Amino acid sequence: MGEYIDAGGLRTYYEVHGEGDPVVLLHGGLATAESWARQVPDLAEHHRVYVPERRGHGRTADVEGPITYAAMAADTAAWLEAMSLTGAHLIGWSDGAAVAALVAITRPELVGKLVVISQYLSLDGEWPSSRAALDEMAADGDTRAMFEAVHGPLSPDGPAHFPVVYDKLMRLWREEPEIPLTDVARITAPTLIMQGDGDWVRVEHSALLARTVADAQLAVVPGTSHALPLEKPEVVNTLLLDFLKADRAGRLLPVGTD
């Protein structure tokens, strides 16, 4: 069962599972809370897991104006404050990862640990084939219909509003994210950068992010794509739980980390 809370003027839907230190799961673009179904049960055995839905997604209404990562990060920070979740661990996948990173940059006091899954933080981190796939998706009627089938039954705005949200997201993905490395270097939260070895993100980009953040780890999950939390949930969940441990093991031979 989900709940709503007013956060910065946005009536935001969220779900809560389990008990323990707070973990917030931030879904990808055009996705809903259900996209984390393979992670919630394992994480909720050790943590109190929150799964909010952002503006224009799932059961949270759209907002006038463009959808940007900065706007969604501000919404997320307002939701964390409304929920009194200072120091929560943020785990973002795809668009949710860019949102989580921006919260960690702009509101570091709100973030305990940070996980960035399958998301470049600047457009030079994508493959040319990733850009081509996005352009193809924007024009593909079947893909649009698939997302519309998810959006329509849930959205407070009604099915007729889906084309507006879809066009906003397509514009976002053409233009963003563009987070400078100087801003990435401001992240103080312990950070895990994770991606598939066949992801839309270049491994070199994720490695650069991991070198830029002061306290960061890099995980490349073999045999996976942009959908790695669905493709190999056991591996992803093991990595997440290990990273979230208060007493996680340190590096014994930290060669090549500076």
Instruction: Using pLDDT thresholds of 50, 70 and 90, give the confidence band for residue 258.
Output: low
Whether residue 110 is contained in a domain is answered as: yes
Number of domains, the chain: 1
Query: Does residue 224 have a pLDDT over 80?
Result: yes
Residue spans of beta strands (DSSP E) within the chain: 2-7, 10-17, 21-26, 47-52, 88-93, 111-117, 191-196, 216-221
Bigger pLDDT: 129 vs 204: 204
> For residue 57, what are the domain limits?
2-244
For residues 126-150, average pLDDT: 86
- Which pLDDT score, from 0 to 100, does residue 242 have? 97
For residues 1-22, average pLDDT: 96
φ, ψ (nearest 5 deg) of residue 6: -80, 120
List of residues 6+ apart from 217 with CB closer than 8 A: 191, 192, 193, 210, 243
Whether residue 75 is contained in a domain is answered as: yes
For residues 119-131, average pLDDT: 92
Whether residue 255 is contained in a domain is answered as: no
Instruction: Using pLDDT thresholds of 50, 70 and 90, give the confidence band for residue 167.
Output: very high
Q: 0.85 exceeded by the pTM?
A: yes
φ, ψ (nearest 5 deg) of residue 156: -65, -20
- Least confident window among 79-88, 155-164, 242-251: 242-251
Whether residue 249 is contained in a domain is answered as: no
The CA-based diameter of the chain, rounded to the nearest angstrom, is 57
**Whole-number Cα distances in Å, 60 to 56, 139, 193:** 6, 25, 28
- Least confident window among 105-119, 139-153, 197-211, 223-237: 139-153
Whether residue 256 is contained in a domain is answered as: no
- Which pLDDT score, from 0 to 100, does residue 174 have? 92
Query: Does residue 78 have a pLDDT over 80?
Result: yes
Reading the block at residue 59, the tokens are 């059961």
Whether residue 104 is contained in a domain is answered as: yes
For residues 203-226, average pLDDT: 98
Cβ–Cβ under 8 Å, residues 237 and 43: yes
Say which amino acid occupies 73: A
Cβ–Cβ under 8 Å, residues 69 and 79: no
* Mean predicted lDDT score pLDDT of the chain: 95
Per residue in 29-49, pLDDT (tens digit) is: 999 999 999 999 999 999 999
Cβ–Cβ under 8 Å, residues 230 and 118: no
Percent of the chain residues past pLDDT 70, beyond the cut = 98
Looking at residue 201, which CATH number applies to its domain? Answer: 3.40.50.1820
Reading the block at residue 65, the tokens are 């104006």
Whether residue 97 is contained in a domain is answered as: yes
Query: Does residue 257 have a pLDDT over 70?
Result: no
- Which pLDDT score, from 0 to 100, does residue 128 have? 87
- Which pLDDT score, from 0 to 100, does residue 130 have? 79
- Which pLDDT score, from 0 to 100, does residue 247 have? 82
Whether residue 217 is contained in a domain is answered as: yes
